[in-house]
Structure 1
């Protein structure tokens, strides 16, 4: 498994950015590309068009009362979701508000294959406010991906780094 953090420019300098820990610990399978609203990264576009990569993004959750998508994603987009972890996973390394904007403002991301984590649960990350229900921070996502990919040692190392970071 390879992980590419498609990082919002504002996220790079935030002290609360968790993706940097994965970059620091596992640079051989985790890398960073800075997202641009006006110019798509050719490497990311090529990976997504080759079907060897997918964007990590939660599946839409339907409201029982209205049948509406809680993430405001049209139902036809459910067909974009893969059942298995792809060779390369692209994580939108940003706040949830910024990540939604990245998807909306980048047609290549909006139409790309997606992968959603299957383990639920709310984030334990307490260094940022206004977390969405079920919305994990970048490092929590990578830890879950490592567990799913049977990369147990890496997951444990990342968990230890996450605990230390989260206790600041």
Structure 2
């Protein structure tokens, strides 16, 4: 399994970026790809074109024509790693992402992340999404380890 963090360049310089926690501790599974509007990553485009990757994305932002998929059926998961406002822009300016099958996490709890403002209700930060994906994929030990790192980071 591979989780691709499609990262906005501004996130590389933010001390509040939670994707870095997974890159530090789960780098055999998590890979960062810098988002480029004009030159999309060819590997991601190929995975999407071959129906080999799913985009983890908010239902409110995705197309209503998208049929639900099971994340368990995919070995490649794409997560947009940025602020919520930037994620919406990335999605809107990336035609290839609109072609990707989409999966939305069904969360019952609000995000525990408190280092950034303007979190939408029900929205999770990047590391919380990664933790949930790992749990869905049965990688509970890694999910628990990242949860501890997140608690320390978020403290």
Provide the residue aligned with 1:82 in structure 2.
Answer: 69
TM-score by length of 1: 0.87
Shift of residue 58 of structure 1? 1.9
Provide the residue aligned with 2:47 in structure 1.
Answer: 47
Where 1:75 maps in the other structure, the secondary structure is: coil
Shift of residue 3 of structure 1? 0.4
Q: 2:138 aligns with which of 150, 153, 160?
A: 150
Shift of residue 74 of structure 1? 4.2
For the pair 1:23 / 2:23, whether they are aligned, the reply is yes
Task: Give the unaligned 5+ runs of structure 2.
Answer: none
Where 1:102 maps in the other structure, the secondary structure is: helix
Q: 2:97 aligns with which of 92, 100, 109?
A: 109
Where 2:31 maps in the other structure, the secondary structure is: strand
Q: 2:110 aligns with which of 106, 118, 122?
A: 122
How many angstroms apart in 1 are the aligned matches of 2:93 and 2:37?
Answer: 6
Kindly name which structure, 1 or 2, has the bigger radius of gyration based on alpha carbons.
1
Aligned residues: 154
Q: 1:136 aligns with which of 121, 124, 128?
A: 124
Contact 1:119/1:144 (8 A) holds in 2: no
C-alpha RMSD of the superposition: 1.2
Task: Give the unaligned 5+ runs of structure 1.
Answer: 61-70
CA deviation string 1:83-106 (max 9, x = no partner): 233111000000111001001001
Shift of residue 145 of structure 1? 0.8
